[in-house]
Amino acid sequence: MNAETLERIKEECRKLPAEISYIVGFVRKQSEPREVVAVLKPDEVDKLSFSPLSFNNPARTVMELAKDNKVAVIAKGCDARALKQLEKEEKIERENLYIIGISCPGVIDYRKFRNTVKFRLAEIDSVELIGDEVVVKAGGEEQRIPFSEVIFENCLYCEQPTPKDYDVLIGEPREGKVDFSDIEEFEKLSAEERWSYWMDVFSKCIRCHACRQVCPMCYCNECLVDPSNLAVSPMTPAEEKAAYPRVLGRTVNAADNLIYHIVRVMHHAGRCAGCGECERACPMELPLRKLERKLEKVVYEVFNYSPDEEIPFLSKLDILPEG
């Protein structure tokens, strides 16, 4: 993820098939060195940027745009995994996508980065990953940070750093791995210790729903565990309102938060792309990937299923032998 990667991305975007209406890629934020997901026209290639701080997942944006357009998308392994899930769930048609895959060495944890970098964020000219160092340049000065000090921990357990499905791939393919050693370590704690750990985590959640809002797999119009987003208008009949599910209340407490998180994670069984957007978005810095990864482990071990399979998880359940 260096200047050469960006040049290769631009090169591929300059020769896109004529039917592509938009590019969903990354542009740099104005006053920070990180990128954000952006929708560009094919003649706006020069606005593209890419670095180890292009950590966001563009799948949600693509899902909306690709309903009526053919879209080129810059996709890391986990981004492509989310696109594949959405395709399996008939939210995206593959023929509307042109995937420029990035073989991904991992992205930077922005919280760690902000605590490590010596420059003011607005002063930073570039951030590149060169070998195993993050090279930060600002006003003619340079700081080199070992990647291991600022890598997003989630990337250490990445199963799919190289997109499985792409139209063009940038970078040499990288091998992923199935590694649940972090979860196995956690499982060694007693049931009481794990309960206490999670109740402590859930008691800190303010149920802002940011983790749900950023998740490419949370696309329901009405969320079962968010009473504030049920579609109610002055015209909604009382009996319809009464029929709405009330799984939990509007109050924020550890018990209701527990339900929110259990329902959310269960709805991701066999679907989570492993991008870590939920954890990055959480203002309380809660370890949301740990919960998702526990479920991934169960799905992997009990159902022998990984989200990279071509069939949706629920279809897999349908074809399980009786008993």
Residue with tokens 């879209």: 71
277 is a contact residue toward ligand SF4 (CB under 6 A): yes
* SS3 (DSSP) at 269: coil
Which of 9, 224, 282, 299 is close enough to bind ligand SF4 by CB under 6 A? 282
Output the smallest distance, CB 61 to ligand SF4, in A: 14
Helices (H), 143-285: 147-150, 181-187, 191-204, 210-214, 238-243, 254-266, 277-281
Output the smallest distance, CB 309 to ligand SF4, in A: 16
Output the smallest distance, CB 102 to ligand SF4, in A: 8
272 is a contact residue toward ligand SF4 (CB under 6 A): yes
In whole angstroms, what is the distance from residue 314 CA to residue 271 CA? 10
Phi then psi dihedrals of residue 246, to 5 deg: -120, 80
What is the residue-wise DSSP string for 246-259? Answer: --S-SS--HHHHHH
In whole angstroms, what is the distance from residue 153 CA to residue 156 CA? 6
Cβ closest to ligand SF4, residue 26 vs residue 138 = 26
In whole angstroms, what is the distance from residue 162 CA to residue 145 CA? 24
205 is a contact residue toward ligand SF4 (CB under 6 A): yes
Q: Interacting stretch for ligand SF4, rule CB under 6 A, among 1-9, 28-36, 204-212, 313-321?
A: 204-212
Phi then psi dihedrals of residue 25, to 5 deg: -140, -150
Cβ closest to ligand SF4, residue 62 vs residue 82 = 82
Closest CA to 214 of 67, 56, 108: 56
Which of 26, 209, 224, 225 is close enough to bind ligand SF4 by CB under 6 A? 209
Which of 208, 232, 314, 317 is close enough to bind ligand SF4 by CB under 6 A? 208
9 is a contact residue toward ligand SF4 (CB under 6 A): no
58 is a contact residue toward ligand SF4 (CB under 6 A): no
Binding positions for ligand SF4, rule: CB under 6 A: 76-78, 82, 104, 106-107, 154-155, 158, 161, 205-211, 214-217, 268, 272-278, 281-284, 286, 288, 292
